[in-house]
Amino acid sequence: MTFRWQHLPVPFEVYADGIDLVIFEEFGAGAAALHLADQVERNALMQDENYRRKFRKQYDAKFGMRVWHRDFFDAEIVDCPDDSVVGKTFGQVGVENGLHPVDAFLDLVVAYGTKLRWRTTISNHRPEFLAKLGADAGVQIGFSDAGAHLRNMAFYNFGLRFLRRVRDAQRAGLEFMTLEHAVHRLTGELAEWYDIDAGHLREGDRADVVIVDPAHLDGTLDDYAESPIPAFDNLPRMVNRNDAAVTAVFVAGQLVVADGQPTPELGIRRTGQFLRAGAK
């Protein structure tokens, strides 16, 4: 049996509305709030001093299983009805008001609920380790939880961001992989691992092709963007907009994206298909 790790080749940045974020299920106080659907009951809990004492203790605990580092000094407020706190961390707000970071956070959640939007980076924040993992043959490029957490994360363009990192490292004289190898890691290598007929440009193959403009593998790949989902009452879903970087997409020879925009055929005319492992 052969085993490979999956790797997200970009910083694992997550967004949250109030306390609604799955990582709070990691410890008892966070889970207790998430399990209350009624906003009045939840607010009453978060204002209770015994609850806050428990939350502070678990927040400050240095040991135990955790994905989130639990550092409110690394959690930036990006939107709030109170403009004075936007751009600050909960830790900063706490210092300014003589509060523990947990109390600063809970006070704002009670006051503004899901209108309080903030972000933090959980992992993948050290470029040297991203380069090391990206080049490791035992690691597969292809992990993202974005589709399961529509309001919390958007990593759909991690392939483009991986190509940008490889190219920028070459330009800086810090090459850890050739650009050609990076393209293969995102295409043919994955197809071979899953034993599907894809990932290569060969005469007679199905023409599944993405055209990327290297000039636009730039900072715009990191920009925040949202798109409403009509079926979910226009829920604002986090997405990645890279219209300038991806100039065209062909599926089975059919143009489905042109100059960053979907063609009328996309979603109307069937172009692609599910690929079975081992089938040609």
69 — pLDDT class (breaks 50, 70, 90): confident
264 — pLDDT class (breaks 50, 70, 90): very high
Whole-number Å distance between alpha carbons of 193 and 207: 20
Q: Select from 209, 210, 200 the least CA-distant residue to 242.
A: 210
Whether the pTM exceeds 0.95: the reply is: no
Q: Give the pLDDT of residue 238.
A: 95
156 contacts 144 by C-beta, under 8 angstroms: yes
Phi-psi region of 234 (alpha: psi -120 to 50; beta: other; left: phi over 0): left
Sorted by sequence, the CB contacts under 8 Å of residue 64 that are 6+ apart come out as: 27
Query: Quick check: 181 pLDDT over 80?
Result: yes
243 contacts 216 by C-beta, under 8 angstroms: no
* Angle subtended at Cα 22 by Cα 17 and Cα 26, rounded to the nearest 5 degrees: 130
Whole-number Å distance between alpha carbons of 85 and 54: 25
279 — pLDDT class (breaks 50, 70, 90): confident
DSSP state of 233: T
Q: Kindly report the number of other CB atoms within 10 A of residue 246's CB atom.
A: 19
Query: Quick check: 126 pLDDT over 80?
Result: yes
Q: Give the pLDDT of residue 265.
A: 87
Q: Give the pLDDT of residue 146.
A: 87
pLDDT tens for residues 203-232?
A: 999 999 999 999 999 999 999 999 999 998
2 — pLDDT class (breaks 50, 70, 90): confident
Q: Give the pLDDT of residue 7.
A: 94
Find the helix packing angle between 101-112 and 90-97, rounded to 10°: 100
225 contacts 239 by C-beta, under 8 angstroms: yes
Average pLDDT over residues 134-153: 91
Q: Kindly report the number of other CB atoms within 10 A of residue 57's CB atom.
A: 13
What does residue 215 show for φ and ψ, rounded to 5 degrees? -65, -20
247 — pLDDT class (breaks 50, 70, 90): very high
Q: Kindly report the number of other CB atoms within 10 A of residue 232's CB atom.
A: 10
Average pLDDT over residues 15-30: 93
Q: Give the pLDDT of residue 219.
A: 94
Work out whether the CA dihedral 138, 142, 148, 151 comes out positive or negative: positive
Which residue intervals of the chain are DSSP H helices? 28-34, 39-47, 49-60, 90-97, 101-112, 127-135, 158-171, 179-186, 188-193
Structure token digits, residue 55:
């939350």
Query: Quick check: 1 pLDDT over 80?
Result: no
Q: What is the mean pLDDT of the chain?
A: 93
Query: Quick check: 83 pLDDT over 90?
Result: yes
Average pLDDT over residues 43-56: 96
Q: Select from 68, 131, 134, 75 the least CA-distant residue to 105.
A: 75
DSSP state of 230: G
Q: Give the pLDDT of residue 195.
A: 95
* Percentage of the chain lying above the pLDDT 90 cut: 83
280 — pLDDT class (breaks 50, 70, 90): confident
Q: Give the pLDDT of residue 189.
A: 95
Q: Give the pLDDT of residue 30.
A: 93
